[in-house]
Structure 1
Amino acid sequence: MKILAIAGSNSDTSINKMLVTYAASLIPDAEVEIVDMNAFEMPIYKHQREVESGVPQEAKNLADKIDAADLLLVSLSEHNGTYSSAFKNVFDWTSRIKDRAVWNEKPMLLMATAPGGRGGLGVLEAAEKRFPLHGGNIIETFSLPFFNDNFNRESLSISNEEKNNELKEKMSKIAALESILEK
């Protein structure tokens, strides 16, 4: 199984990147690629720029990675209740590729974490409404509140037993679904 793990943040110390990396580790023997948003830095989307220059190669590269994956793990950072500007710009450009949906109907676990008690619920709600309009096949969602209290940075794992079990259960469900689809 090929997993594309996307952290919707361009932070070098992204807590969402830590979470999505941990989630990917829960499916044994998977081929995992962790996406760094910094590798997809592009000019801010502008219609005139698209008309003059077309869609940047970076957006096409991300689309190719999505197409090659069997499963998408997407963990979004929350900035003012919605996507980070880095993620939103990549999403906008990728949505402009002709004759394709951004997520291409790939099965997806949509996640978020944050230092606060809502655990990125604002961005999850926004993505749950928007992603299906762009080919998002959201199988499960997961939120980890109080990241600093519930995640062990040294072992790169969830330290809160209840939340850890919740994520493991969701990952098992997704892995089982994927094995059914392969038959």
Structure 2
Amino acid sequence: MKIIALAATSSSKSINKQLVTYAANLVEGATVEVIDINDYELPLFSEDREAKLGKPELAQAFFDKLGSGDAIMISYAEHNGSYTAAFKNLFDWTSRINMKVYQNKKMILLASSPGPGGAQSVLASASNSAPYFDGDVKGTFSLPSFYDNFDMQAGKINDDELATALYKTVNQLNQ
């Protein structure tokens, strides 16, 4: 199984990129390709820009990249209770190429934040909307208080209960 993994943020110091990289590599028997949405940066979406630009090559490339795997794993950063502007913009452009952005791929959705909420608002939104965009969500996981629960030196969750829960969640891709 090939997993396409990404953090839904443009931050170069993303805690969600650390989480998704760790989590994707926990899936037994999987190969992992971690992508960076900064490689697909596009102008702010609007119908006027779409009329002028058409379907940007980078949006098509992102769509194709998602389609190149057997499964998709995304870890969401939360900005004011919602998606980051960078991810939402890329998603909007990609959905204009094909509304089935996730191409019936199995998905694991994750989220983390420095605070105790663990970005659960954006995770709930992403989980609820993914099926409308042809995503087959197999599991979700929220890591609260990232800096307390993730050992950045070792690159893994340091709380045994949370680590076990994440392992069980991501390995639902094998079922």
1:3 Cα offset (Å): 0.6
Identity within the alignment, %: 42
User: Distance in 2 between the 1:105 and 1:91 partners?
Assistant: 16
Write the distance in 2 (CA, Å) between the matches of 1:48 and 1:110.
Answer: 32
* Unmatched tracts of structure 1, length 5 or more: 178-183
Deviates more, 1:100-109 or 1:145-154: 100-109
TM-score w.r.t. structure 1 length?
0.92
Measured after TM superposition, the shift of residue 30 of structure 1 is: 2.3
For 1:38, the equivalent position in structure 2 comes to: 38
Residue 125 in 1 paired to residue 148 in 2? no
Partner deviation per Cα, 1:134-157 (whole Å, 9 max, x = no partner): 112111000000000000101110
Instruction: Please state if 1:151 is matched with 2:154.
Output: no
- Whole-Å separation in 2 of the counterparts to 1:119 and 1:27: 22
Q: Structure 2 CA distance, aligned partners of 1:24 and 1:90?
A: 22
Which 5+ residue runs of structure 2 have no aligned equivalent?
Answer: none
- Aligned partners of 2:108 and 2:160: how far apart in 1? 20
Please report the RMSD computed on the Cα atoms of aligned residues, expressed in angstroms.
1.1
Match of 2:51 in 1: 51
Q: Is residue 77 from structure 1 mapped to residue 80 from structure 2 by the alignment?
A: no
- In the alignment, the residues of structure 1 paired with residue 140 and residue 28 of structure 2 have an alpha-carbon distance, to the nearest angstrom, of 20
* 1:105 equivalent in alignment to 2:104: yes
Q: What letter corresponds to residue 122 of structure 1 in structure 2? A: S
1:88 — aligned with what?
Answer: 88
Count of aligned pairs: 175
Which secondary structure state, in structure 2, belongs to the residue aligned with residue 168 of structure 1? helix
The separation in 1 between residues aligned to 2:52 and 2:93, in whole angstroms, is 14
* In structure 1, C-alpha distance between the alignment counterparts of 2:59 and 2:31, rounded to whole Å: 22
SS at the partner of 2:96? Answer: coil
Aligned partner of 2:84: which letter?
A: S
Contact 2:28 2:171 in 1 (8 A): no
Q: Compute the displacement of 1:29 (Å).
A: 4.2
Which amino acid in the other structure matches residue 100 of structure 2? A
Q: Alpha-carbon deviations, 1:109-163, whole Å to 9, x = none? A: 0110001111000101111222211112111000000000000101110111111
In structure 1, what residue type is equivalent to 2:131?
A: P
Q: TM-score, length-normalised on structure 2?
A: 0.96
1:166 aligned residue: 165
Q: Structure 1 residue runs of 4+, over 6 Å off?
A: none
Distance 1:54 1:154 in 2: 44
